[in-house]
Structure 1
Amino acid sequence: MMKNNKTVNDTYTSRAIAESAMHQSQMKDVMITKTPGRYAVKAMMSGFLLAIVTVFMLAIKTQFAGTPVGLINILGAISFSLALVLIVLTNSELLTSNFMYVTVGYYYRAITLRKIMYIVFYCFLFNIVGGLILFGLMRFTHVMTPEMITALTKTVSTKTVESTWYAILVKGIFCNFFINIGIYVSMLFKDGLSKAFFIACGVVVFVFMGYEHVVFNAGLYAGMLFYNFDGANWLHVLKNIVFAFIGNYIGGGIFVGLVYAYVNGRRDAFEK
């Protein structure tokens, strides 16, 4: 019988990606500590990109009204995938992908829990600010048509009033699982086209299935602030934000970040 010369280290098949994610968490730690203003700008850019592509998706859905619903939904999902591709390839700061990075960093003891909390809430705050800036600039234009405002209001109602906390939580888990598994796989590749393809795959699934992405949702609520404030039930909006936030962390931080950190080595694997 052939001798088995493999070691435990040989089973860490994606260790390089886990190590890269750990280094990402350390870079975020340095950035938010040493240059918080620059970090805030990068986080705002993510929120801005999500919001502007959300408007693009609403335009597609309203202008293609009358075509089969499934076709409209897949076109909207494909169009929205552009946002995350641009965010990742420009190294902007997005809360939901940071869930994976900081959890990997915490597993390998590269970042403290206190700093993780700081990064998470600071990033989320400025993601929201980016969406507010976009809709604030757009408010005095005719980009958002009455049909688009109606579609926005209907989407918000579906995500808030018509959804239970449990449905939001589970959809939040599914959403960020697909997003972060796409990002994790994309880290295998050096070229932008391959990265973009796998990132987009995860986004298309979550948008088409109507899963809950807390930053995307926050952008929708920013739109409601400017276009139809009375059309939103703000208590239910808060419910959505809270449980989508928790679900997104579980899906991206636990189901992807922690799982792949664990299967690629012990907690002290990179300590010297």
Structure 2
Amino acid sequence: MIIFLNGELTTSNMMYFANGLYRKVVKPADAAKVLALCTLFNLIGCAAIAWVLSQTLGFNDIDASHYLISAVQGKIDKSYGLVFLDGIVANMLVNITVIGIMFMKDNSAKIPYILGIIFIFAFYGFEHVIANFVTYSLAAFTLPSAIEGFTLSHVLLQWLVAWIGNFVGGGVVMGVGYGFLNKGQDIYTD
């Protein structure tokens, strides 16, 4: 939806702004401001969506055996090092998706491409901070007591570590990487 509705996602902006910084067309203060505001409003939007979902029949009366609870428990139990590494991989996959669809003209081709790559990061439980905003918020609005270690400080630290990992994967590897590969006059489309 973000791609087709031309929305703003922090993790793709990490790639765009890191590339802009590398090419010296964006000021560091402007990049930091946009990423901070985008992260804040992604969090607000995700929390609002999670609250609405928590009021629906599908999430209104869940128990400790629900998939949401076990998925969030699995994420909460990860070490911060693993969250960081999973964050790198997640945002590399997200930005591979973003870059790939730029070369596609047909929307009917974009949909399976997007779903295929995003499925990989979701299936393997890689750490995408914005997706975690939704799942952690939904868990908080439904049955937080069923998750061991689900404290505000732990959640905030997990989000921060995932955000940094996402920045390394999307900003440094993808944004600066593509900036380096495209520093000449020719368009590099490997």
Q: TM-score range by the shorter chain?
A: 0.7 to 0.9
Structure 2 SS opposite 1:182: helix
1:139 lines up with 2:54 in the alignment: yes
How far apart are 1:148 and its partner, in Å?
8.2
Which of 62, 68, 81 is the matching residue for 1:152?
Answer: 68
Number of equivalences: 182
Encode CA deviations 1:220-239: one digit per residue, 9 max, x unaligned.
12112211233423332122
Q: TM-score, normalised by structure 2?
A: 0.87
Q: Letter of the aligned partner of 1:165 in structure 2?
A: Y
Q: What CA RMSD, in Å, does the superposition of the two structures yield over aligned residues?
A: 2.1
Q: Superposed, which structure 2 residues align to 1:120-135 within 5 Å? A: 120-135=35-50
Q: Letter of the aligned partner of 1:142 in structure 2?
A: L
1:250 lines up with 2:165 in the alignment: no
Q: Give the number of the structure with larger relative contact order, counting CA–CA contacts within 8 Å between residues 6 or more apart.
A: 2
Q: Which runs of 5+ in 1 are unaligned?
A: 1-85, 267-272
Q: Which runs of 5+ in 2 are unaligned?
A: 185-190
Which of 88, 111, 118 is the matching residue for 2:26?
Answer: 111
How far apart are 1:131 and its partner, in Å?
1.7
Q: Percent identity?
A: 29
Is the radius of gyration larger for structure 1 or structure 2? 1
Encode CA deviations 1:220-264: one digit per residue, 9 max, x unaligned.
121122112334233321221111101111111111111111111
Q: Superposed, which structure 2 residues align to 1:4-15 within 5 Å? A: none
Q: Letter of the aligned partner of 2:157 in structure 1?
A: K
How far apart are 1:179 and its partner, in Å?
1.1
Question: CA 1:157 to 1:233, structure 2 compared with 1: closer, same or farther past 3 Å?
Answer: farther
Which of 116, 119, 127 is the matching residue for 1:204?
Answer: 119
Question: CA 1:133 to 1:148, structure 2 compared with 1: closer, same or farther past 3 Å?
Answer: farther
How far apart are 1:147 and its partner, in Å?
4.9
Which of 191, 213, 222 is the matching residue for 2:137?
Answer: 222
Question: CA 1:225 to 1:256, structure 2 compared with 1: closer, same or farther past 3 Å?
Answer: same
Indicate conservation of the 8 Å contact 1:186/1:196, yes or no.
Answer: no
Indicate conservation of the 8 Å contact 1:183/1:198, yes or no.
Answer: no
The runs of 4+ residues in structure 1 deviating greater than 6 Å are none
Alpha-carbon separation, structure 2, partners of 1:199 and 1:131: 20
Q: Superposed, which structure 2 residues align to 1:180-191 within 5 Å? A: 180-191=95-106
Structure 2 SS opposite 1:146: coil
Indicate conservation of the 8 Å contact 1:102/1:116, yes or no.
Answer: yes
Q: TM-score, normalised by structure 1?
A: 0.62
